[in-house]
Structure 1
Amino acid sequence: MRTAPAGSPDDPATTVPIGADAAPSRLLLGTILALLVLLIASKAVDLAEPASAGRGASLIDFDAFRIAGQLVWRGAIDQAYRFETLVAFQRRFGEPNAFLPWTYPPVFNLVVAPFALLPRSLAYTLFIGATLAAYLLVLRRLAGSHLGPLLALLFPTLAVTVACGQNGFLTGSLIGAACLCLLRRDPRAGLPLGLMAIKPHLAVGFAVQALMTRDWRTALVAASVALAFAGLATLILGTSVWGAFRDGVAEAGVFLERGLYPLYRMISAYAALRSLGTPATVALAVQGAVAVVALGLVIRAIRRRMPIHRVVGLAALTSLLVSPYAYDYDLPILGVGLALLGPDLLARTEPRTRLVLFGLVWVASGWGLAMTGLLHHRYGGADIPIGVMAPSLGGLALVAAIGLIWCILSRAPAEG
């Protein structure tokens, strides 16, 4: 996880390498890349197969992207934000129990629209292949020759993102690109941060950083890009799309309160508490407190005059704790933060503490995957019923991991 741009002349810990020797690291990297290619190819073949007799195709999250894109071309994107009408479209293409609400900001409709013009399998392969390639390129810049060990640590979330065809690699690429610019204090970091208008809650930590450091140039670039993106969406989709988006978010809030989403796939404190029976109002209050404390770590890091790579890394990590609606496929951003903070973490820990931290990261990123497998086994391979309230421990593990990272960063480097 060592990276030259993250180095700081007054912070010798950043020169400590992470992982094994170069040859095993390269072998590990090659193995993981091969596995990812096989996973993508396998999913592409599966998506290319016609639906079985008497049953529609099994929908994944990427199918929601294509359906929304098709509604863009029909001039009916407003219908995507009403679940009653959206589910009717989904059931034409897939199983009758599909539950894929659409709550993305209108700007994301422009991203998914081109993929609606392509066959299902080809569209999936291009989207996942291109975003994964971009993510790996950015992560290589941050992690250097230790990309292999980092990808091994992130493998559960990489597998999840590939399996469902989600946008985690896209958001991870944008956050990673922003970090590369911020390390150089380059205001062009505002460009990828502005494009994070597709999922703005995953970039809140960087807004706090810009405010506390008075980085007005980056903030101005980000705001300009976001406004231009929103203006383009309004011009193409019409002004009514924003009202539909507002109503869709309100409807999704009701779904979340009632536990209709797969909470075991989520990585928020809210989801963890709700899955354990906590009332929604209490869980939401705790979520708010977690978000405030997490963003407060960015402020404390700045006030302590921590090196820029630590501040940026913490901004990436703490952004994951802001929203109650965050999934395991959003965790490629975790890899960006770990790439930046890894050398400092290694310099301040002994093997036992590292093992605990690695275990927490694996639980955070792999809990949803493990629970999905167990539930499919429980229901005999059939679709998991909507509203199944299985335990959600990924969010608790993520909170614990980021808390442990802060405690480690507050230590002095270990001697020797």
Structure 2
Amino acid sequence: MFPTTLEAIRSTTSKRTAYISGILALLAVAIVFKAVWLARLGLGHGRDLVDFNAFYITAKLVWLGTVDQAYQFAKLIVIQREVSGGRDGFMPWTYPPQFSLLLAPFALIPVGIAYLLFVASTLTLYLAVLRRLAGDNFVLVLIVFFPTIGITLACGQNSLLTAALIGMVCLFFQERPILAGTALGLMIIKPHLAIAFAVYAVLRRSWIVVMTAAAVVLISSAICTAVFGVEIWSAFLQSVRDSSVFLEHGNYPMHRMISIYAALRTAGLSASAAFVAQGVAAVLALAVVLIAAYRPMPARERFGLVAIVSVCISPYAYDYDFLIFSVGLALLLPALLASAREWERGIIYALPIPIGAFGYLQAMQMASSYNGEQALSTFSIGGFAIIPLIALIVGIVLLRSSGTEAVSEPTVRCASA
């Protein structure tokens, strides 16, 4: 009954419009509330830093000419502690310099307004791309991923932007490869989430996409070098090395991560064993990319498969990064609606919900109790849930949908393609 009830929402234009309007209104309220909270105008309790605070701090450092301090954990801890009024929480900065430069303009305005502009613009882009991909299924995808969008807004993360960029790669890959390559190149802000599509582009010999993406990375790197100096790259690489030690020692909030590495670590396995399992998961994910590249199937199914496995290659993926999965589901829904049984669709719709919801509840628990050790001892729900979810979807698409399809649109041009 659950999938049937959920799918009934998309049956008429009036129902879709009503639900979409309601969801967008809730998201707007959440954005305004968080902007006020960040502006410290009296709403909310507690002032622990959220991710957007880390973005804003780095943007300020850009203008001060000391952005290299964002990559030096010992110095960044002191800066974040001062901003948070003495809180002990710490958010390492491991983003490539391109993202630091992208954030710089936001430091010129108050933090509340900066958050409002950043989140509202990236949310608008994400929703526009998702609507193009999902068509009549747009409201269905919104409901399933509403908790994940919620946790993204709550912490002010950039996953709305990265999901939109991946969606643009899917939209423009065949007909506008320069645009697709540009979007893929801009994923340098979170390169570990773009590995699957980079491999897919090479396997498909889409050289315009590959060369455009490479050009974007090289040009943006040259700009960063000119602005920050060549030493910014050694600082960045050192932060990456330091973060790998953090990850190995379990110092990240792995209950919020969605990788098999995080799942096994929170279950008590050693770092080495969890890394081996993560390696196996990455190999299997790339095998799906290989199948998608060479097996005859509709374009939207190719891109959908690549999108859903792109989040399980790296051990470093959070619940908000799961939004990329919404891009894959939007593309695959026509095939799933046609081929999946009702109980299978129920699982596909149900499993993404606790991934975002659990992350949100855990984030609120940590903010209110200041008991990081208690939160870190919990299981990675997302890490355990995402494996059967991907396995089920991949199995349905590869074993039923593509093999029985008669006619398919060759390009992802619009929602009904």
- The aligned residue for residue 64 of structure 2 is 74
Between the aligned partners of 2:23 and 2:42, the Cα distance in structure 1 is 31
Between the aligned partners of 1:325 and 1:355, the Cα distance in structure 2 is 28
Shifted more, 180-189 versus 140-149: the winner is 180-189
How many Å apart are 1:306 and its aligned residue? 1.6
Is 1:171 matched up with 2:162?
yes
- The aligned residue for residue 241 of structure 1 is 232
- The aligned residue for residue 283 of structure 1 is 274
- The aligned residue for residue 59 of structure 1 is 49
- The aligned residue for residue 3 of structure 2 is none
- The aligned residue for residue 415 of structure 2 is none
Match of 2:382 among 371, 378, 394: 394
Aligned residues: 394
- The aligned residue for residue 108 of structure 1 is 99
Q: Give the secondary structure class of the aligned counterpart of 2:210.
A: helix
How many Å apart are 1:309 and its aligned residue? 1.2
How many Å apart are 1:278 and its aligned residue? 0.5
1:318-329 maps to which residues of 2 (within 5 A)? 318-329=309-320
The 8 Å contact of residues 179 and 189 in structure 1, kept in 2 or not, is answered as: yes
The 8 Å contact of residues 40 and 162 in structure 1, kept in 2 or not, is answered as: yes
Between the aligned partners of 1:412 and 1:389, the Cα distance in structure 2 is 40
How many Å apart are 1:186 and its aligned residue? 2.9
- The aligned residue for residue 90 of structure 1 is 80
Match of 1:40 among 12, 31, 38: 31
The 8 Å contact of residues 194 and 221 in structure 1, kept in 2 or not, is answered as: yes
Counterpart of 1:405, as a letter, is I
Counterpart of 1:382, as a letter, is S
Is 1:385 matched up with 2:372?
yes
Q: Give the secondary structure class of the aligned counterpart of 1:34.
A: helix
How many Å apart are 1:50 and its aligned residue? 5.5
Between the aligned partners of 2:104 and 2:310, the Cα distance in structure 1 is 27
Between the aligned partners of 1:319 and 1:183, the Cα distance in structure 2 is 19
- The aligned residue for residue 267 of structure 1 is 258
Between the aligned partners of 1:178 and 1:90, the Cα distance in structure 2 is 35
Between the aligned partners of 1:131 and 1:185, the Cα distance in structure 2 is 22
Shifted more, 363-372 versus 185-194: the winner is 363-372
1:358-408 Cα distance to aligned partner (Å, 9 max, x none)? 1222233333223334556xxxx2323257321112012112211111111
- The aligned residue for residue 154 of structure 1 is 145
How many Å apart are 1:108 and its aligned residue? 0.7
1:75-99 Cα distance to aligned partner (Å, 9 max, x none)? 1111111111001111111042121
- Could you say if the C-alpha distance between residues 373 and 71 of structure 1 is closer, same or farther in structure 2, counting changes exceeding 3 Å? closer
- Could you say if the C-alpha distance between residues 51 and 185 of structure 1 is closer, same or farther in structure 2, counting changes exceeding 3 Å? closer
Between the aligned partners of 1:113 and 1:31, the Cα distance in structure 2 is 34
- The aligned residue for residue 119 of structure 2 is 128
Between the aligned partners of 1:368 and 1:50, the Cα distance in structure 2 is 26
- Could you say if the C-alpha distance between residues 343 and 88 of structure 1 is closer, same or farther in structure 2, counting changes exceeding 3 Å? same
1:112-163 Cα distance to aligned partner (Å, 9 max, x none)? 1111111010000000011001111111111123311110010111000000
Match of 1:411 among 374, 380, 399: 399
RMSD over aligned Cα atoms: 2.1
Between the aligned partners of 2:74 and 2:176, the Cα distance in structure 1 is 47
- Could you say if the C-alpha distance between residues 351 and 198 of structure 1 is closer, same or farther in structure 2, counting changes exceeding 3 Å? same
The 8 Å contact of residues 144 and 350 in structure 2, kept in 1 or not, is answered as: no
The 8 Å contact of residues 56 and 93 in structure 1, kept in 2 or not, is answered as: no
Unaligned 5+ runs, structure 2: 1-6, 406-417
How many Å apart are 1:232 and its aligned residue? 0.7
- Could you say if the C-alpha distance between residues 47 and 374 of structure 1 is closer, same or farther in structure 2, counting changes exceeding 3 Å? closer
The 8 Å contact of residues 267 and 395 in structure 1, kept in 2 or not, is answered as: yes
Between the aligned partners of 1:51 and 1:248, the Cα distance in structure 2 is 35
The 8 Å contact of residues 183 and 309 in structure 1, kept in 2 or not, is answered as: no
Shifted more, 272-281 versus 187-196: the winner is 187-196
Counterpart of 2:320, as a letter, is Y
The 8 Å contact of residues 190 and 218 in structure 1, kept in 2 or not, is answered as: yes
1:271-291 Cα distance to aligned partner (Å, 9 max, x none)? 100011100011011111101
Match of 2:221 among 214, 221, 230: 230
- The aligned residue for residue 134 of structure 2 is 143
Between the aligned partners of 1:91 and 1:160, the Cα distance in structure 2 is 23
How many Å apart are 1:103 and its aligned residue? 0.5
The 8 Å contact of residues 48 and 87 in structure 2, kept in 1 or not, is answered as: no
- Aligned-pair identity in percent equals 44
Shifted more, 193-202 versus 309-318: the winner is 309-318
Between the aligned partners of 1:337 and 1:202, the Cα distance in structure 2 is 13
Is 1:186 matched up with 2:177?
yes
- The aligned residue for residue 5 of structure 1 is none
Unaligned 5+ runs, structure 1: 1-15
- Could you say if the C-alpha distance between residues 18 and 45 of structure 1 is closer, same or farther in structure 2, counting changes exceeding 3 Å? closer
- Could you say if the C-alpha distance between residues 17 and 186 of structure 1 is closer, same or farther in structure 2, counting changes exceeding 3 Å? farther
1:227-376 maps to which residues of 2 (within 5 A)? 227-373=218-364
- The aligned residue for residue 201 of structure 2 is 210
The 8 Å contact of residues 206 and 315 in structure 1, kept in 2 or not, is answered as: yes
Between the aligned partners of 2:316 and 2:42, the Cα distance in structure 1 is 31
Between the aligned partners of 1:221 and 1:35, the Cα distance in structure 2 is 38
Q: Give the secondary structure class of the aligned counterpart of 1:28.
A: helix
- Could you say if the C-alpha distance between residues 139 and 244 of structure 1 is closer, same or farther in structure 2, counting changes exceeding 3 Å? same
TM-score normalised to structure 2 length? 0.90
- Could you say if the C-alpha distance between residues 30 and 335 of structure 1 is closer, same or farther in structure 2, counting changes exceeding 3 Å? same
Between the aligned partners of 2:78 and 2:188, the Cα distance in structure 1 is 28
